[in-house]
Structure 1
Amino acid sequence: MPDVPRPRAGRTQTVKASIASHEPLAGRSPRLARRRHETRVRLLDAAFGLVAEKGIDGVTISQITDAADVGFGSFYNHFESKERIFAALVDWLFEEFANTLDRLSRGLADPAEVIAVSVRHTLLRACREPVWGQLLIREGLSARALSRGLGQRLLRDTKRGIAEKRFMIADELMCVISVIGTVLAGIAAELDLATSSRRAVRTRKILRSKAEKFAESTAAIVLQAFGLAGLEAEKIACRPLPAAPQEVTA
């Protein structure tokens, strides 16, 4: 089952879980640490909601603090600038998704299928959550994205495939960059198709079917870049997707 958008309340719960480990607690009372943590969560959640509505360039710090019900000056206790909160937001979004991909591919013995599942879920999520897809296009080849989260997972899975002699490539880093470029181009094409369709609402099921087929085709192209033969790549790319893990609710 492909990724589906989560309601805002569920997203806030996920933010709390994902940034908890990054919030230093030493030297603070438990109550102060908890209040600081909750404020940071509200700011990040508000930023994501506003980005979804207005785009990154259309959001101001005052809009973020108003939406989070946080004093304007309190913003700077957590982030130095608008750019820093967006960087933290991007880190959270892609680290969260990278963890989701790890759970989805857990138990898959074939490194090629791991790559195919990751590519397909990435394209399908971008299609269902255009803001997320736009952020990935913007940040996908940045130094931050390549050095952590999705970039490091892809490099890890590539090395695994090479070690198991499943992938035949000359330069693993250049292959990873090429694969990311292919996926980002695919996302851009899908988002353009979805936004340019005047009958997008009435043809949602058709667009979803096309997105799934496109995700499979993109995954097959990626696998061929890793050295698999075309027919085998297409077969692996069309295997049923692992079911998305159920979220734990409080």
Structure 2
Amino acid sequence: MKDLPNRRTTRPRVTKVPSASTEAAEVTEARQSRGARRKRETRARLLDATLRLVADKGMDCVTINDITEIADVGSGSFYNHFESKEAIFAAVFEWVFDEFADALDHLASGLSDPAEVIAVSVRHTLMRARREPVWGQLLIREGFSARILNWGLGPRLLRDGKRGIAAGRFVVADPFLCLISATGIILAGIAVELHFATSIVAATRGQTEPDWGGEKFAERTAAYVLQALGLNGEEAEKIAGLPLPMGNSEVKTG
């Protein structure tokens, strides 16, 4: 039987040409993507400018005009992101304090000893102050304000202090005094860290560097916090010198 001829014909490939509506949709999507990116960048500049101004001058001395000038943003753009000065202040505190405290909670989530939790939090706080002096300066400026006690680190320290007292790890009768004691030492430690960071810059300019702060200062500060909460010196130093969870030396935020 003879082979039958192949009746199939080779069809030419058809190249799809984007329709006008498809191209228009792609252009619109690209514009929206650029617009969203610019909006995020503008908001970030406003937050960063506010952080720097508040750290330098305090909230009461900062105006919206100050913020927009430093951020190089028009006043109209400001109101596209925040309805008032108070709104951007709240956003800054959430950004720099609550997010950092949430990161600390995540980092210490595997620790069962309240003393270890406190030590890890103190060490990371001081290390961040050294890396980011503006952030540390804001903490110093706020001091024992209601904002510090009610945002971010304050409620966490109070919570961890209560847990330590309940577990018999801390010998402090009043949880609030536990918070005040820890906060006072941390703020003093941050002040030293900021001075030490400044002294490093001075040393690079040929000036004499003071013999304080420096090596393992975060661990030493954490040990003093634990001693203020009732641990003996040897145990406090041992806990403060333990490796940080997950082998990390930094808490990433933002």
TM-score by length of 1: 0.71
The 5 Å alignment of 1:1-250 reads 39=39, 42-49=42-49, 51-52=51-52, 56-57=56-57, 61-62=64-65, 64-65=67-68, 70-76=73-79, 78-81=82-85, 84-197=87-200, 198-200=202-204, 211-242=214-245, 243-244=247-248
| Residues 1:200 and 1:219: Cα distance change in structure 2 (over 3 Å) | farther
Deviation at 1:226, TM superposition (A): 1.2
Distance in 2 between residues matched to 1:151 and 1:237, nearest whole Å: 20
SS state at 2:111 partner: coil
| Residues 1:176 and 1:246: Cα distance change in structure 2 (over 3 Å) | closer
Residues 39-48 or 90-99, more deviating: 39-48
Corresponding residue for residue 27 of structure 2: none
Distance in 1 between residues matched to 2:50 and 2:215, nearest whole Å: 28
Aligned partner letter, 2:167: E
SS state at 2:216 partner: helix
The answer (yes or no) to whether the contact 2:140–2:187 under 8 Å persists in 1 is yes
Distance in 1 between residues matched to 2:90 and 2:98, nearest whole Å: 12
Distance in 2 between residues matched to 1:141 and 1:53, nearest whole Å: 19
Q: Percent identity?
A: 56
The answer (yes or no) to whether the contact 1:43–1:64 under 8 Å persists in 2 is no
| Residues 1:54 and 1:225: Cα distance change in structure 2 (over 3 Å) | closer
SS state at 1:93 partner: helix
SS state at 1:199 partner: helix
Distance in 1 between residues matched to 2:155 and 2:90, nearest whole Å: 17
Aligned partner letter, 1:213: K
Distance in 2 between residues matched to 1:67 and 1:179, nearest whole Å: 35
Deviation at 1:74, TM superposition (A): 3.8
The answer (yes or no) to whether the contact 1:220–1:234 under 8 Å persists in 2 is yes
Q: How many pairs does the alignment contain?
A: 212
Distance in 2 between residues matched to 1:144 and 1:61, nearest whole Å: 20
Residues 51-60 or 172-181, more deviating: 51-60
Q: Which has the larger radius of gyration?
A: 2
Deviation at 1:196, TM superposition (A): 3.2
Distance in 2 between residues matched to 1:162 and 1:55, nearest whole Å: 34
Higher relative contact order (CA 8 A, sep 6+): 1
Q: Which runs of 5+ in 1 are unaligned?
A: 1-34
Instruction: Please report the RMSD computed on the Cα atoms of aligned residues, expressed in angstroms.
Output: 3.5
The answer (yes or no) to whether the contact 1:119–1:219 under 8 Å persists in 2 is yes
Deviation at 1:87, TM superposition (A): 4.1
| Residues 1:49 and 1:219: Cα distance change in structure 2 (over 3 Å) | same
Deviations 1:80-118, CA, capped at 9 Å, x for gaps = 23x652343123200111011111111012110110000
Deviation at 1:59, TM superposition (A): 6.9
| Residues 1:79 and 1:138: Cα distance change in structure 2 (over 3 Å) | farther
